[in-house]
């Protein structure tokens, strides 16, 4: 699968057609989906209708948009009118949304062709896509290993060449971590830059939608399309989409890059070495390197696993067997509600609902949830101080490369530690980008993470482009 930029240029010029590009995508899906379990639903008829519409626009002499005819995979926690949307949970089995998420509307308006919904950890709660009610997704680079999570299906779709671009959501690293494990570019935007309307909520103060792509240029293009104010989302920033493509080649000359000790501590030797090589590339590009310590980052994991489950406990209370989704009949409403939630939710979702409910309960609210919010504030202030010393920060995305199936499923803490480097950015609401840089065990890709203050996506993507070229990828 070629890049989104190249596909759009071919379709708009008439060298190819949206229908032809879609058929290439569908053929790859048919050949590998059974092996990898990437797509939970492929909307062939709907996609073909959209592709024909794009070709009609091109034939009329009009501009079909910056993503003209580009097939795109959609994480199955984003609503698309009439298309099954499950969050990889039995509790939403058979539900078809009556509306589109804002990001879907914007992608289609830009000429993109959604081909189907990808697998994820149930309700986006996980780091390996092993928590799906519909079975795990396999890493296309090594099917004995996980693709990461929770956006593992979206990452695998791009890594397998099923589509050139995909959408994921990032609550604690769920775009960046699978991007790192599958050798992709993954962007977690500034909180509020991309509308969350139509994203089925996990933790509302943390969730953000972003792209998974093979190149930095594709990531910039997709983010430019989906970003910008949306009156349907009360947390949406009141400003237009940023100009990203125009700044991709700005480089890093004159920038101060902070190498953060806490963002490489505990990582595998090959990962640390890759981060240091990436630092050398940025230095060669004219950046000044400063070494920083942000001790507050050590508190991130603990704060996150109180705040996120608390919000999940509230958000998932709506799945009661009454309004939509699964319903298990029983003698009375209370029994029906209990039976429905018992059967509909998987083990990890139940674990987090119980943890969150406990943290919010009378007598424990101040000690747990309230304390976690204070820690979050300290972390925001610590990042703010760090950005007085550096324009952007660099560290590892994950502690290691993709791990084998089952190796962490029996130890929740070991699984949670996979997000130790990504969680702080979500708590702060700032943007971050994971870029493939180097390889580790078994030749599997390593991700290097660039972090910046709010609304710094243009600078981050320009730095990511420097690393992309420096790693010999383009």
- Which pLDDT tens digit goes with each residue over 310-352? 999 999 999 999 988 999 999 999 999 999 999 999 999 999 9
Strand order in the sheet with 185-188: 39-42, 113-118, 71-75, 165-170, 208-213, 185-188, 432-439, 445-451, 392-396, 256-260, 288-292
Evaluated on CA atoms 319, 77, 453, 455, the torsion sign reads: negative
Taking a C-beta distance cutoff of 8 angstroms, is the pair 218, 184 a contact? no
Quote the pLDDT of residue 472.
78
Quote the pLDDT of residue 5.
98
Evaluated on CA atoms 451, 382, 412, 350, the torsion sign reads: negative
Quote the pLDDT of residue 409.
87
Taking a C-beta distance cutoff of 8 angstroms, is the pair 333, 223 a contact? no
Quote the pLDDT of residue 50.
98
Quote the pLDDT of residue 305.
96
Q: Where are the beta strands (DSSP E) in 264-351?
A: 288-292
Give yes or no for residue 436 having a pLDDT over 60.
yes
Inside any domain, residue 109: yes
Q: How confident is the model at residue 9 (pLDDT cuts 50, 70, 90)?
A: very high
Q: How confident is the model at residue 474 (pLDDT cuts 50, 70, 90)?
A: low
Inside any domain, residue 58: yes
Q: Dump pLDDT digits (tens) for 97-152.
A: 999 999 999 999 999 999 999 999 999 999 999 999 999 999 999 999 999 999 99
Task: Just list the catalytic residues.
Answer: 75, 150, 174
Inside any domain, residue 257: no
User: Is the whole model's pTM more than 0.85, yes or no?
Assistant: yes
Total tally of structural domains belonging to the chain = 1
Q: Report the phi/psi class of residue 275: left, alpha or beta, with left for phi > 0 and alpha for psi in -120 to 50.
A: alpha
* Burial of residue 247, with CB atoms counted within 10 A of its CB: 0-12 exposed, 13-18 middle, 19 or more buried: middle
* Burial of residue 397, with CB atoms counted within 10 A of its CB: 0-12 exposed, 13-18 middle, 19 or more buried: buried
Burial per residue of 106-136, b for 16 or more beta-carbon CB atoms within 10 angstroms, e otherwise: bbbebbbbbbbbbbbbbbbbbbbbbbbbbeb
Q: Summarize the confidence of residues 276-291 as an average pLDDT.
A: 98
The token duo for 248 is 């991709």
Q: How confident is the model at residue 41 (pLDDT cuts 50, 70, 90)?
A: very high
Q: How confident is the model at residue 408 (pLDDT cuts 50, 70, 90)?
A: very high
Separation CA 375–CA 107 (nearest Å): 37
Quote the pLDDT of residue 352.
97
The token duo for 196 is 């969350």
Give yes or no for residue 47 having a pLDDT over 80.
yes
Separation CA 16–CA 174 (nearest Å): 34
The token duo for 21 is 């590009």
Q: Summarize the confidence of residues 427-446 as an average pLDDT.
A: 98
Taking a C-beta distance cutoff of 8 angstroms, is the pair 154, 169 a contact? no
Separation CA 29–CA 34 (nearest Å): 9
Q: Dump pLDDT digits (tens) for 146-187.
A: 999 999 999 999 999 999 999 999 999 999 999 999 999 999
Alpha carbon 325 to its chain centroid, in Å, reads: 25
Quote the pLDDT of residue 284.
98
Quote the pLDDT of residue 399.
97
Burial per residue of 23-46, b for 16 or more beta-carbon CB atoms within 10 angstroms, e otherwise: bbbbebbeebbeebbbbbbbbeeb
Quote the pLDDT of residue 97.
97
Crossing angle for the helix pair 300-315 and 371-389, to the nearest 10 degrees: 130
If you average pLDDT over every residue of the chain, what do you get?
97
107: domain CATH number? Answer: 3.90.1300.10
Dihedral angle of Cα 305, 310, 311, 312, to the nearest 10 degrees: 80
Q: How confident is the model at residue 1 (pLDDT cuts 50, 70, 90)?
A: low
Q: Summarize the confidence of residues 447-455 as an average pLDDT.
A: 98
Range with lowest mean pLDDT among 48-62, 71-85, 318-332, 434-448: 318-332
How do beta strands 256-260 and 392-396 pair? parallel
Inside any domain, residue 269: no
Burial per residue of 176-209, b for 16 or more beta-carbon CB atoms within 10 angstroms, e otherwise: bbbbbbbbbbbbbbbbbbbbbbbbbbbbebbbbb
Q: Summarize the confidence of residues 45-49 as an average pLDDT.
A: 98
Evaluated on CA atoms 76, 79, 81, 82, the torsion sign reads: positive
Structural domain range at position 104? 4-242
Kind and range of the H or E run holding 112: none
Q: How far is CA 364 from CA 311, 349, 358, in A?
A: 15, 21, 7
Q: Dump pLDDT digits (tens) for 360-395.
A: 999 999 999 999 999 999 999 999 999 999 999 999
Q: How far is CA 282 from CA 20, 204, 471, in A?
A: 40, 35, 11
Separation CA 331–CA 251 (nearest Å): 66
The token duo for 219 is 């990531």
Quote the pLDDT of residue 253.
98
Q: Summarize the confidence of residues 273-295 as an average pLDDT.
A: 98
Evaluated on CA atoms 382, 386, 391, 393, the torsion sign reads: negative
Separation CA 15–CA 17 (nearest Å): 7
Taking a C-beta distance cutoff of 8 angstroms, is the pair 126, 150 a contact? yes
Residue with tokens 């079909």: 64
């Amino acid at each position: 699968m070629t890049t989104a930029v190249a596909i759009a240029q071919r379709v708009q010029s008439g060298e190819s057609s949206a229908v032809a590009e879609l058929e290439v995508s569908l053929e790859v899906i048919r050949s590998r989906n059974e092996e990898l379990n990437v797509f939970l639903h492929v909307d062939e008829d709907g996609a073909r209708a959209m592709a024909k519409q794009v070709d009609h626009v091109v034939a009329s002499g009009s501009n079909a948009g910056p993503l003209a005819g580009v097939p795109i995979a959609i994480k199955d926690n984003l609503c698309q009118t009439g298309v099954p949307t499950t969050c990889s949970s039995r509790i939403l089995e058979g539900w078809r949304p009556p509306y589109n998420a804002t990001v879907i509307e914007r992608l289609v308006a830009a000429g993109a062709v959604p081909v189907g919904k990808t697998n994820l950890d149930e309700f986006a709660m996980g780091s390996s896509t092993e928590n799906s009610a519909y079975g795990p997704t396999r890493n296309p680079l090594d099917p004995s290993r996980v693709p990461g999570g929770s956006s593992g299906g979206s990452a695998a779709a791009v890594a397998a060449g099923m589509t050139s671009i995909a959408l994921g959501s990032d609550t604690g690293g769920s775009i960046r971590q699978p991007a790192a494990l599958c050798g992709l570019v993954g962007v977690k935007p500034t909180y509020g830059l991309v509308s969350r309307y139509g994203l089925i909520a996990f933790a509302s103060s943390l969730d953000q939608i972003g792209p998974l792509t093979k190149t930095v240029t594709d990531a910039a293009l997709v983010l430019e399309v989906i970003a910008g104010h949306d009156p349907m989302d009360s947390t949406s920033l009141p400003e237009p989409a940023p100009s990203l493509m125009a700044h991709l080649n700005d480089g890093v000359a004159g920038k101060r890059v902070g190498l953060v000790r806490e963002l490489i501590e505990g990582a595998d030797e090959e990962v640390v070495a890759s981060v240091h090589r990436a630092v050398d590339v940025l230095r060669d590009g004219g950046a000044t390197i400063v070494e920083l310590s942000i001790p507050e980052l050590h508190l991130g994991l603990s704060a996150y696993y109180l705040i996120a489950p608390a919000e999940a406990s509230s958000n998932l209370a709506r799945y009661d067997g009454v309004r939509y989704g699964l319903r298990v009949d029983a003698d009375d409403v209370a029994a029906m509600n209990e039976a429905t939630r018992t059967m509909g939710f998987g083990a990890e979702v139940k674990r987090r609902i119980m943890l969150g409910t406990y943290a919010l309960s009378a007598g424990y609210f101040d000690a747990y949830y309230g304390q976690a919010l204070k820690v979050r504030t300290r972390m925001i202030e610590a990042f703010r101080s760090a950005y007085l010393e550096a324009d952007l920060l660099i560290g590892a995305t994950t502690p290691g490369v993709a791990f084998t199936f089952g190796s962490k499923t029996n130890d929740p803490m070991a699984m949670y530690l996979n997000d130790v480097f990504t969680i702080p950015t979500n708590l702060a609401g700032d943007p971050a980008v994971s870029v493939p840089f180097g390889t580790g065990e078994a030749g599997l890709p390593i991700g290097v993470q660039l972090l910046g203050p709010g609304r710094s996506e243009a600078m981050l993507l320009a730095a990511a482009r420097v690393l992309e070229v420096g790693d010999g990828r383009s």
